[in-house]
Structure 1
Amino acid sequence: MTRYATPSGGLPPQSKTLDERAVFTPAYAFLPADTMRDIVTSFLPHWKNTRAWVIARPMSGFSETFSHYITEVGPGGGSTRPDDDQTAQAVLFVVAGAAEIALMGQKHSLTAGSYVYIPASSDWTFRNISDVSVTFHWIRKAYQAVDGIDAPEPFISHDDDATIIEMPDADGKWCTSRFVDPEDLRHDMHVNIVKFEPGGLIPFMETHVMEHGLYVLEGTANYRLNQDWVSVGPGDYMWLRAFCPQACVATGDGPFRYLLYKDVNRHMPLDLRK
């Protein structure tokens, strides 16, 4: 059974040595798992018995297209009015516990590994149906409609059912679990799971227009962020603005996997006031 990293919460003891790895730079931010404690959570309107670690949000001059929450819903918690922003599409990825989502009038059970795409203006509700907390990633982006292209439909999938695409000439050591066809231009964001086997690597400095949010689900790696090599592991988060150079070398004895957001399939805005 796949295990996914989740925030530890709580508060370190006064005797703990300070973790100095957290950093915010003009090109990227790195939030180690140890920064995701009780005192940095936020509450959300119309959500009961729920808290969220907000690990990315639009910021002028940095990363501007998305927000990323790790949301923890206690027993009996949830919402019948989860998001009043009618422009916001979302991906939910469950990493612990069990829940029920009602999406466009249809109820679905969710467990660890469940993946939900929610189009903008959708009618949905969410509730914890167990006696322990349910934890899920909630990635939101304002949908960019295009004349002549239909809006995407809602769907529910699972990590085990995603289409696995191997990268060319990587001998199976670098692959991506895709939940959306890359050529489906209805979608203006992708949320995938990237996997490296031990010793797998990105063999060049990727530099491109997409903004990135990378949450480490399992395993370890040395990750290049702009000019820095950073050791990363379960529960760590990397937030990259457009054109931040990146590369990766997987370490350890098991797979290195991360949940990846990126904006795709749209022209670049030429008027930054819009």
Structure 2
Amino acid sequence: MNRTYFSDWGGLPAQRNIIAGRAVFTEAYAFMPRQVQSDITASLLPGWEDTRAWILARPLTGFAETFAELILDIAPGGGTDAGEPDPKAEGVLFLLEGALTLEVGGATHEMAPGGFAYLPPGSGWSVRAGDAKAVCVWIRKRYEPVPGLEAPEVLVTNDAEVTPAPMPDTEGRWSTTRFVDPNDIRHDMHVTIVTLHPGAEVPFTETHVMEHGLLVLQGMGVYRLNADWVEVEAGDFMWLRAFCPQGCHASGSEPFRYLLYKDVNRHPRLEL
């Protein structure tokens, strides 16, 4: 399978553009087309050098509350020695473009596009871009410890090294790349890649307790979000509350692939 990863955010819209766009924010979901991640919506982050960030999601009272998701655009040689600023937070880095040198737990890892790193709380990591700019996704979540269970260990791998698991009865047209063992209850979040080949679909409306962040990596699709059908393409982002009805159909001529966050494997909190 030909894997590509969208990484071309930034720039400014032309002054002649009309104001209306595809962005939507509702009580059940937010849809952020790739065009809204422009120069004027980028942020700088303390502890990060020569890096700008687009914040796609952050905990928001009354909406999705478990995670933050960012796009990091790192200039050559840029990065951080500080890593995660919250000692209780775990994270995932997924590299879209360029190269990153990740140092964690006394080991050095050279990450290429498709690179995936799970970073447990307190792991004290650092990253640096190489001779060209690097673009990566950074997903952060407060880890929910369980008495008697240790936190998961560091994991560094690559999309190309993990065999996608086909959904039953789909002949491989719908599959999921699972970077961690889904039966490992130590993990309280999963970050996976869902792949739908042209014409394939999620043929039912999923409704469940898990929150989602979905960043489209490649291809095109039509996504059911609550009561709406929304056309999506590479670089778009969807942010779903718990219980938001969802489903999709892959359109276009190449695989439709998206990076999916969800919270898993913990008792529901009874207090906010």
Please, what TM-score do these two structures have when normalized by structure 1?
Answer: 0.97
| 1:124-273 correspondence to structure 2 within 5 Å | 124-130=125-131, 132-272=132-272
User: Equivalents in 1 of 2:83, 2:155: separation in Å?
Assistant: 18
Q: CA deviation at 1:133?
A: 1.1
The alpha carbon displacement at 1:7 in A equals 3.6
Give the distance between the partners of 1:170 and 1:152, measured in 2 at CA. 32
Question: Is the CA contact 1:7–1:37 (under 8 Å) kept in the aligned structure 2?
Answer: no
Q: Among all aligned residue pairs of Structure 1 and Structure 2, give the percentage whose two residues are the same amino acid.
A: 51
Amino acid at match of 2:260: L
Contact 1:100 1:127 in 2 (8 A): yes
In 2, Cα distance between equivalents of 1:252 and 1:18: 27
Provide Cα deviations, 1:108-135, integer angstroms capped at 9, x if missing partner: 11111100000001111111121x2100
| Aligned amino acid, residue 96 of structure 2 | V
Aligned residue pairs, count: 271
Counterparts of 2:41 and 2:231, CA distance in 1: 23
1:75 aligns with 2:76: yes
**Runs of 4 or more above 3 Å deviation:** none
Aligned residue in 2 for 1:113:
114
- Contact 2:83 2:124 (8 Å CA) reproduced: no
- Contact 1:7–1:36, Cα closer than 8 Å, also in 2: no
- Counterparts of 2:50 and 2:28, CA distance in 1: 35
Structural RMSD (CA)? 1.0
Rounded to whole Å, the distance in 1 between the matches of 2:174 and 2:77 is 40
Is 1:2 the equivalent of 2:27?
no
Scaled by the length of structure 2, the TM-score of the pair is: 0.97
Kindly provide the CA deviation profile for residues 54-76 of structure 1, in whole angstroms up to 9, marking residues without a partner as x. Answer: 00000011000000000011012
CA displacement 1:192-236 (0-9 Å, x = unmatched): 000001111011100000000000000011100000000000100
For 1:246 and 1:7, locate their aligned partners in 2 and report how far apart those are by CA, in whole Å. 27
Aligned to 1:210, the other structure's residue is in SS state coil
2:51 matched to which residue of 1?
50
**Superposition deviation, residue 84 in structure 1:** 2.0
Deviations 1:10-68 (A, max 9, x none): 10111223342101100000000111101101111111100100000000110000000
- Could you give the per-residue CA deviations for residues 126-184 of structure 1, whole angstroms, max 9, x where no partner exists? 11121x21000000000000011121000100001123111112221110000011110
Q: Distance in 1 between matches of 2:90 and 2:47?
A: 18
Structure 1: stretches of 5+ with no match in the other structure:
none
Whole-angstrom CA distance in 2 between matches of 1:226 and 1:182: 26
Deviates more, 1:76-85 or 1:41-50: 76-85
Q: Which letter maps to 1:78?
A: G
